Each structure stands twice: as structure tokens, then as C-alpha cells.
Amino acid sequence: MIVLWTDALIFLLIVMTISMGVYVRGKEHFRRPLRQITASKNGMISLTVLVFFVLIGLIDSIHFKASGDDGNDVISVLDYWAAPLRQHGEKTYSAPFAAFGYGKEMVTLDDGTAHWDYPRLKYGGAHLSDPERELTADILKKGLYGLFQGASLCTFFWLMLWGIFAAQQQRFLKGSAPGKSALAVGFAIVTIVYALCYLSAYYHILGTDKVGEDVFYQTIKSIRTGLVIGTLTTLIMLPMAILFGILAGFFQGWIDDLIQYLYTTLNSIPSVLLIAASILMVQVYMATHEEAFTSVVLRADMRLLFLCMILGVTSWTGLCRLLRAETLKLREMEYVQAARALGVKQGAILARHILPNVMHIVLISVVLDFSALVLAEAVLSYINIGVDPTTYSWGNMINGARLEMAREPVVWWSLTAAFVFMFILVLAANLFADVVQDAFDPRRSRSDGV
């Protein structure tokens, strides 16, 4: 098993999330908003979609060595499972669910004659003897069969879990419209994904790109990149934002002036230029230390990690300002003044009275910033200062689609696939962010209690 830097940070983030869940389990001021989130239909549906994306990202974050695998010795569990999609490449472009190439070329028939025509694909629809007549019916047949198998699989596991956890599931579903909605969405996702995977064994369901690589495989692989950018950047940004924001608001004086000068100066530098300069420095370092980056995967992973660090360093200032303003208000509260009068140490006041009362701002900002960071990766990769060109990402797919959109006929499926998957992830994150903001906003909770 090979542990990349981003893999290690992802699993560290999971451990931190589980630890935080255990910590807040007995805290009533956290349990109330969490109950409000679970009581929201939009919140549970969007959370179900996010969990699906996260599971794909986690499967793609378990790497191991596979000798002789197309010269790339480091692959993930997702690569291993999706080996047919990875290995069944075509010569060049092909449309979704096509059995013929997208452009005409000189085709040699069995009798030795040659003519200008659309060539048969090597893998897509190769099982059909007469694609022009059988294609539509075969797609419908296999699609319905895949949906039936997916639905049957979901039903089987549901009945099995119902038998084991009958009492818990009855309490979960009894009078719980959000729970039923989340279950229905999960059922639909698993069924549709199973049907798509079944169809992908016979067709390129989202077509192929210029070098004949399956676009569906590229889109699924890009999920991990989007999640890494959104989560690891937050992991890097949070400590600086929380530490500097609380210290500036609590101590004031020269500490406040120094921190304000720091983030004001950082905000004065154009972020795109700072990111471009940092990425250039990373590329120069890698070029001069080639012995440390013997694998393409390791080199791409290191650039992805540096991009997360750069985005984290440039994006902590907004949350820092919010935490500073909130701390300025909290330090004048009666319970903080009473703790000072009783001689409680300043570190204890920060840990027991200030930090817990600004966590709602931290949680809201984290969820809101996630979708912005996912979109930032797409923009940066589009202008060639994002992730490594060998890394699968929606930004690289959109960047590669620039010339394809000017082609005749237009190759539209790469751009469409990246847009649809990114849209679903960002939409689910934004909907969940709205629910989290409503649940953790203390002003809203006070107004609801009136």
C-alpha cells in the first residue's frame, strides 16, 4: 500500500471529523442545531449526495503498487475496479453510447477495398453485429436491466439491515420525512450508478476524448481532486484563521495591529499572481530534484498538495476577520469579565469561553467556502496554474474542451460531463451550507425560540 501526502491528510481529516463528532455528542448547544439539520429535508438530501461523492473520493484515495500497469505503478482501488474503463481506450473521439468513431477516416473492408467512412469502435458497442439497427434497443435493454439489478441490490441490503436494526430504523423512519427523503435519494443514486457502471462495460457512456480515453472514467476520477481542494485547503486554512482571529480580538493592542497588518498586506496581493508564482516555484523545485519524484503520480500529488497549501494561505483572511469581530464582542460579555475577575488564566478563558462560542462561525464558513474552493480549482486549472496536467480534474477537462468546442463537429461531452458533476457537487454543498447556516446561526435560533 502506498500512502500519498494527500491520502494521509484526507484520513487525518476523517479522524478529526470523527473525534469532533464524539466531542459534540454530549454538548447540548451542538446537539440542537444538529437535530435541526437532520429535521431538514434539503439538508438530508444534500448530505446524502455529498456522502456519495465523499465515498468515491475515499475509494480513490487508497493507493497501492501495480507493476506493469501501463507504466504507472501507483494506482488506487477505484482504478483497480474501473480497469476496463481505464484500459479500453479508443483511437480518438467517440460520442456517448456510440458504436462508431466521431470522425470519418479511410476504412478497409473485409474484401480489401477501402472507402471513407466512420470506423467501428474497438470496444464501444463491439458486441453488436449490426449497430445501426441494434444500438438503441440494446442500450434500452441493458439500461433497464442495470436499473433492475441496482434496485434489487438496494432492496436486498435494505431488507438485511432492516432485519438487524429493525428497532433503530423504525424510529428513524417513523414520522421522519427528511429520513425517508434521504433514503429515497440514496436508493436512486445507487440504482442509477449501478446501471451506469453496467452500461459502461459495453459502451463509452460519456464518450471518449482526443486520445480515446473514457470521459466517464475521467469525470469519476476528478471527484477526488475536487474534494481534496475543498477539504484539505480548509484543513490548512482553519488553524491560522482561528488562532490569529481569536488572538487579535481578545488581546488587541500591538497583537491586533500586527495581525491586521498581516492579513491586510496579504489581501493586497492579487491572489492569482501569488498562486501562479508559487506553482512556478514548485515546478522549478521538482525539475531540479527529479530523483525525489520518480513517479508521475507522486509528482502530481505533490503539486496538488502545494496548491492546497497556497489556497489555504491566501484564503484564511476572511474567516480571521469574522472571528476577530466576534471575539471583540465576546471579550466584553459578563461571563468573560467574571472569569477575569476570578483570576482564571487567559488560556483557559480562550479555550473554555471564546473558542466554543465562535465555532458556529467556523462551521458556517467551512461549509460555505467548500463550494468556492471547488470552483476555484476549475478556474485555476483552466488558466494552467492549477493542478498538474496529468491529474484528473474538472478544471483540466474544461481546459481541454476549449479546442474541442471550436471543432467541427463540436465535441461537447467532455465539457458537459465536467459541468454536470461539478454542478451537482457544488449545488449539494450550497444547499447543505444554507441548512448549516440556519441551524448554527445564534440570532436565528433565538428568534425561533421566541
Count: domains in the chain: 2
| Cβ 320 vs Cβ 248: under 8 Å | yes
Task: Give the C-alpha separation, 77 to 85, whole Å.
Answer: 13
Task: Give the C-alpha separation, 45 to 62, whole Å.
Answer: 27
Question: Could you tell me if 194 and 227 lie in one domain?
Answer: no
DSSP designation for 354: I
Q: What CATH number does residue 284 fall under? A: 1.10.3720.10
Per-residue model confidence (pLDDT) at position 206: 92
Residue 237 cell numbers, joined: 486554512
Kindly state whether residue 57 falls inside one of the protein's structural domains: no
Burial class (CB in 10 A: 0-12, 13-18, 19+), 296: middle
Residue 122 main-chain phi, psi, to 5 deg:
-75, -35
Question: Could you tell me if 278 and 399 lie in one domain?
Answer: yes
pTM of the model: 0.86
Kindly state whether residue 440 falls inside one of the protein's structural domains: no
Question: Could you tell me if 278 and 400 lie in one domain?
Answer: yes
Per-residue model confidence (pLDDT) at position 295: 74
Residue 15 cell numbers, joined: 479522524
Q: Of 167, 200, 233, at which residue does a domain stop?
A: 200
Question: Could you tell me if 189 and 234 lie in one domain?
Answer: no
The predicted-structure confidence for 103-137, as pLDDT tens digits, reads as follows 878 777 666 677 778 888 889 888 888 888 889 99
The predicted-structure confidence for 242-272, as pLDDT tens digits, reads as follows 999 999 988 888 888 999 999 888 888 887 8
Per-residue model confidence (pLDDT) at position 449: 46
Q: Which stretches of the chain drop beneath a pLDDT of 70?
A: 26-29, 67-72, 109-112, 162-176, 441-450
Kindly state whether residue 19 falls inside one of the protein's structural domains: no
Query: Could you identify the residue written with the cell 453485429?
Result: 129
Question: Could you tell me if 284 and 428 lie in one domain?
Answer: yes
Task: Give the C-alpha separation, 399 to 6, whole Å.
Answer: 23
Query: Could you identify the residue written with the cell 496581493?
Result: 269
Question: Could you tell me if 283 and 169 lie in one domain?
Answer: no
Kindly state whether residue 23 falls inside one of the protein's structural domains: no
Residue span of the structural domain in which 404 resides: 223-435
| Cβ 204 vs Cβ 98: under 8 Å | yes
Per-residue model confidence (pLDDT) at position 56: 94
Question: Could you tell me if 235 and 339 lie in one domain?
Answer: yes
| Cβ 224 vs Cβ 425: under 8 Å | no
Question: Could you tell me if 278 and 166 lie in one domain?
Answer: no
Question: Could you tell me if 267 and 369 lie in one domain?
Answer: yes
Question: Could you tell me if 189 and 288 lie in one domain?
Answer: no
Kindly state whether residue 39 falls inside one of the protein's structural domains: no
Per-residue model confidence (pLDDT) at position 258: 92
Residue 162 cell numbers, joined: 432492516
Kindly state whether residue 96 falls inside one of the protein's structural domains: yes
The closest alpha carbon to 323, from 264, 266, 249, 395, belongs to 249
Task: Give the C-alpha separation, 206 to 215, whole Å.
Answer: 6
Per-residue model confidence (pLDDT) at position 214: 92
Kindly state whether residue 7 falls inside one of the protein's structural domains: no
Kindly state whether residue 442 falls inside one of the protein's structural domains: no
Task: Give the C-alpha separation, 246 to 323, whole Å.
Answer: 6
The closest alpha carbon to 300, from 76, 78, 90, 66, belongs to 76
DSSP 93-130: -B-TT-SB-SS-EEEE-TTS-EEEEPPBPSSTTTT-SS
Task: Give the C-alpha separation, 102 to 125, whole Å.
Answer: 14
Question: Could you tell me if 93 and 129 lie in one domain?
Answer: yes
Question: Could you tell me if 193 and 248 lie in one domain?
Answer: no
Per-residue model confidence (pLDDT) at position 222: 92
Q: What angle do CA 217, 219, 225 make, to 5 degrees?
A: 115
